[in-house]
Structure 1
Amino acid sequence: TVIRNAWAGDPYPIDTLMMYMSNMAWNSSMNTVETIAMLTDKDEAGAYKIPFIIYSDAYYSETVPFADLVLPDTTYLERHDCISLLDRPISHADGAADAIRHPVVQPDRDVRPFQSVLIELGARLGLPCFVNEDGSATYRDYADYIVNHQRTPGIGPLAGWRGKDGGSIGKGDVNPDQLQRYIDNGGFWHHDFSDDQRYYKMGNRAYLDFAVEMGFIPCAEPIVFQLYSEPIQRFRLAARGHGKVQPPDAERGRIEAYMD
């Protein structure tokens, strides 16, 4: 986990660990005892191995007591969220789908959606894609990011109602009214595959062409399932010392054992 890597200084030591949403000291750790030990462990000089922890949460979760700085987050009823095709979508075998959450109540306390906080931090740090040429912030907040961010031309976090008139799906220009279209449709967008796209998708030309149009894949080539995986074997051989690219010594045994 990110906590273990921060504690071990792998691949390099850090001075600040920032976490949000996941309560990683408890329900995302898979090993709470060792994770808590890492969060509180000190080096030979008596300094914490993870020097500074920033954590954002809407509740007093099990991770909050280990944080040096706590940023109060909103609940899911008070912020925008995006259940995107780019990350863990809600699609099923016969169709593509994505969704949003949107505020139904306004916060009555001093909290901010952490996605918006991250976007503002990106702008303050001058990170690429978060500032314009004049140095101003590219995005106002997370809702603005959902609508206007494009991973590649025409492909953004949401696939529905793209294009200036909202008539495109998958790929299309930014639609300023996109979030409202989702809200009007109950927060969801869904597209049914045609009958000839629903079977053997790894080698179905009709589906592969559609997948390219949607931006799912770069080209309409069959997706080959390898019983023997040459890329994985290269990892194993590297762990045994073969090739120019070598893994860290501490990871050799694990790579050789599990890249099978």
Structure 2
Amino acid sequence: LGFVCGPDDLLVDDTGTPIRIDKAYSWDAPLAAHGLMHTVIRNAWAGDPYRIDTLFMYMSNMAWNSSMNTVETMAMLTDMDASGEYKIPFIIYSDAYYSETVPFADLVLPDTTYLERHDCISLLDRPISHADGPGDAIRHPVVEPDRDVRPFQTVLIELGARLGLPGFVDDDGSAKYRDYADYIVHHERTPGIGPLAGWRGKDGTSIGKGGANPDQLQRYIDNGGFWHHDFADDQRYYKMANRSYLDFAETMGFI
């Protein structure tokens, strides 16, 4: 699933410098499940591990709920260098509301609310699992937007296709995904492993690994938006040396 298992899995360059602005999955934070959102603004301001020209944020209101220190964060967002230029030169921010981050942005783009879009709470990102079994979930639209707006995940997917970024276009240069809902169903991080673990395969009978199931989102909706698998009794303990669990984990793509 992409979890760091050794030095070869770290996101660092040839000198050991972190590739991500939050230093996630580097020597600074090798086990950074879901990343280190609370460090993004501070690192961008400090130019650590590198300087940036644009800070692009969405769906997070990071100046408030991921900053850990709002007073210092506001100072960082408005701080200037000796030449009179902002230390974070340009900020793009997308939100459905006039949140605390909006006043600091140079460009503000609209977004949908969680009742108007698909979201994916994935094992690849921030699993809602517990010790007795893996699980994941979706949000799905219950109302249509009443204004000129699209889910920002869909906007990002279209930007990736327009830029021709790997993973967002097919061999002929056409867009690989219609929108974010299509991405959830058809994206594969590695063969057979996608954002959702439940109801995989063409007939929806596989879990963990399996091809795309065009009815996968509907299966989640029919199940209240959730999928969960219960470990067998002999898989629930001493997992680091439990043959039954480790065999299951391999079939699921955990290891």
TM-score over 0.5 for the pair: yes
Query: What does residue range 94-133 of structure 1 map to in structure 2 within 5 Å?
Result: 94-133=132-171
Question: 1:201-227: per-residue Cα shift (whole Å, max 9, x none)?
Answer: 11110000000000011xxxxxxxxxx
Query: What does residue range 1-260 of structure 1 map to in structure 2 within 5 Å?
Result: 1-217=39-255
Q: Distance in 2 between matches of 1:43 and 1:202?
A: 50
Q: Distance in 2 between matches of 1:15 and 1:95?
A: 43
Structure 1: which 5+ runs fail to align?
A: 218-260
Q: Distance in 2 between matches of 1:47 and 1:91?
A: 45
TM-score by length of 1: 0.81
Identity %: 88
CA drift of 1:13 comes to 2.0
Tell me whether 61-70 or 107-116 shows the greater mean CA deviation.
107-116
Question: 1:33-86: per-residue Cα shift (whole Å, max 9, x none)?
Answer: 111111111122222111110001111111000001111111110000111111
Q: Distance in 1 between matches of 2:122 and 2:63?
A: 26
Alignment-mate amino acid for residue 241 of structure 2: G
Asked which structure has the greater RCO (Cα within 8 Å, sep 6+), the reply is 2
Q: SS of the residue aligned with 2:239?
A: coil
Alignment-mate amino acid for residue 195 of structure 1: D
Structure 2: which 5+ runs fail to align?
A: 1-38
The count of corresponding residues between Structure 1 and Structure 2 is: 217
Q: Distance in 2 between matches of 1:195 and 1:151?
A: 30
CA drift of 1:10 comes to 2.2
Q: Distance in 2 between matches of 1:33 and 1:111?
A: 32
TM-score by length of 2: 0.82
Q: Distance in 2 between matches of 1:69 and 1:129?
A: 27
Q: Distance in 2 between matches of 1:93 and 1:8?
A: 38
Q: SS of the residue aligned with 1:82?
A: strand
Alignment-mate amino acid for residue 231 of structure 2: F
CA drift of 1:12 comes to 2.4
CA drift of 1:191 comes to 1.2
Q: Distance in 2 between matches of 1:200 and 1:56?
A: 44
